[in-house]
Structure 1
Amino acid sequence: MLEFKFDTQLLIEGKNLSEDAINDYITEHFKGDCLLAVGDDELIKIHFHTNEPWQVLEYAASLGEIYDVVIENMERQANGQQG
């Protein structure tokens, strides 16, 4: 069984975005692993494994417009099912 079930990926479009600030906030406030927050001050891609993807989406939406949201159930994928 996986510790963190959902692979959460999305893009944030905004102004004055900071990879470091986003990385620090997610690390400090949400349980998960495999965090990537990469981009520039107007577009950041997030990749994060968590059991509560809605928390990441809510936070990201507070920073700007979110789109290309993908949430995959890695537990189902590991069992050979559609994620």
Structure 2
Amino acid sequence: MLEYRYDTQLLIEGNNLNEDAINEYFTNNFNGDCLLAVGDDELIKIHYHTNEPWKVLEYCSTLGEIFDIVIEDMERQSKGLKG
């Protein structure tokens, strides 16, 4: 069994985005691993493994417009099923 079930990926488009601040927020407020939050002050790519992807979406939506959202169930994928 995986510790963190959902692979959560999305893009955030906004103004004055700060990848360091986003990384720090994730580290201090979410349980998960494999965090990737990279980009510039207008577009950030998020990749994160968590059991609560809705919390990630809720937070990211406060930073700007979120799109290209993908949430994959890695538990199902490990069993050979569609995630």
Superposition misfits of 4+ residues, deviation over 6 angstroms:
none
Partner of 1:3: 3
> Which ranges of structure 2 fall in alignment gaps of 5 or more residues?
none
Partner of 2:21: 21
Paired with 1:33 and 1:72, the residues of 2 have a C-alpha distance of 15
Paired with 1:23 and 1:57, the residues of 2 have a C-alpha distance of 14
1:3-28 Cα deviation digits (max 9, x unpaired): 00000000000000001000000110
Q: CA deviation at 1:80?
A: 0.2
Partner of 1:79: 79
Query: Number of aligned pairs?
Result: 83
Percent identical residues: 73
> Which ranges of structure 1 fall in alignment gaps of 5 or more residues?
none
Q: What's the RMSD between the two structures over aligned residues?
A: 0.3
Q: The residue matched to 1:49 in structure 2 has which SS?
A: strand
Paired with 1:75 and 1:6, the residues of 2 have a C-alpha distance of 8
Q: CA deviation at 1:32?
A: 0.1
